[in-house]
Amino acid sequence: MHDRSGPVPAILVQMSDERVELGHAIFALVEPHSGHELAWNRYYERDHLVAAGTCAPWTLAAQRWLATRQHKAARQPHENPIAEPPERGTFLAALWIQRDRLAEQQAWVAERMKELAEQGRTFEQRDVLSTASWDYLGGALRDADGVPPELALDRRYPGIVLAWVERRPEQSLEALRDALLRDALPGLLEKSPIAQALCFTPLPKADWWPKAAPEVPGVGDRVLVACFVDCDPLEVWGECFADLPKTLESGGRGSTLFVAPFVPIVPGVDPDLAKL
């Protein structure tokens, strides 16, 4: 029998101070060609999102949404630089990426995209309105001990509202960020159905991104505010979001380019095409 009476050898473990922390995101706003909506939804959720997204190292979470005709009708303003006309941009996807690991995540995705193209696993019958990597700037949380930003996608909120805000020429991006996080957003969230509002700023398009991905406007100038809502945003649109542009501009440091509500896509369930 093995003698266990002697001293137990010490096991040296190098501790890490790295924790799960949201640092970056990818947002993709897409419009399938007419008649290809169902095929696009199945391709994206059953192959592409997994094979080139959630399987990537340092991807924390992913979620998809859509905008029905009613949600598109609530978008404002009608003339905007994001969705022209505003009826475009039905499908939205987002991925959360670990802080300071975007380069590693994207290097893996770049190689995977080559393999998928060689295998014919692409979908050409769609228009990409916007797809880009974003740096996380910080967020405003309604609840002192609520859902952390890292789990916002996993929480599967019943709605999300995106607002694109651009700094005024005489203001810095940092000034716009501070005005949003310190002044505009905390008051918006207080005693509202908006659980959290997270801010991101776009990064330049990487060299490897497909030609179908447009160049990224607003680098150094724009902030994307993602508001996670406890209900379908249309249920509280007049109360919470009709005046959102004014709220975001109240500090005078930016101008609101576009506000758009979405509801979640249930994975594995085809959306009702009659409502799109």
What tens digit of pLDDT does each residue of 214-263 get? Answer: 889 999 999 999 999 999 999 999 999 999 999 999 889 999 999 999 99
Is 274 a domain residue? no
Q: How many separate domains does the chain show?
A: 1
Is 271 a domain residue? no
pLDDT at 267 exceeding the cut of 80: yes
The answer to whether 133 and 96 are in contact (CB under 8 A) is no
The predicted model gives 28-43 an average pLDDT of 98
| pLDDT computed for residue 15 by the predictor | 64
Per-residue pLDDT band for 211 (boundaries 50, 70, 90) equals: confident
Sign of CA dihedral 245, 246, 248, 251: positive
| DSSP per-residue letters across 59-91 | EEEEEEEE--HHHHHH-B-SS-SSSSSTT---E
Is 71 a domain residue? yes
Is 173 a domain residue? yes
Per-residue pLDDT band for 133 (boundaries 50, 70, 90) equals: very high
Q: What is the pTM of this model?
A: 0.92
Is 7 a domain residue? no
pLDDT tens-digit profile of 145-168? 999 999 999 999 999 999 999 999
Per-residue pLDDT band for 176 (boundaries 50, 70, 90) equals: very high
CATH number, residue 32? 3.30.70.100
Average model confidence (pLDDT) for the chain?
94
pLDDT at 18 exceeding the cut of 90: no
The predicted model gives 45-69 an average pLDDT of 98
Is 270 a domain residue? no
Least confident of 15-19, 204-208, 256-260: 15-19
Is 48 a domain residue? yes
DSSP reduced 3-state for 7 = coil
Is 275 a domain residue? no
The predicted model gives 258-272 an average pLDDT of 97
**Which range marks the domain in which residue 119 is found?**
22-265
| pLDDT computed for residue 13 by the predictor | 64
Beta strands in the chain (DSSP E): 22-32, 59-66, 91-98, 126-141, 159-167, 194-202, 222-229, 254-264
Distance, in Å, from the CA atom of 177 to the CA atom of 154, rounded to the nearest integer, reads 25
Nearest to 113 by CA among 54, 53, 25, 62: 53
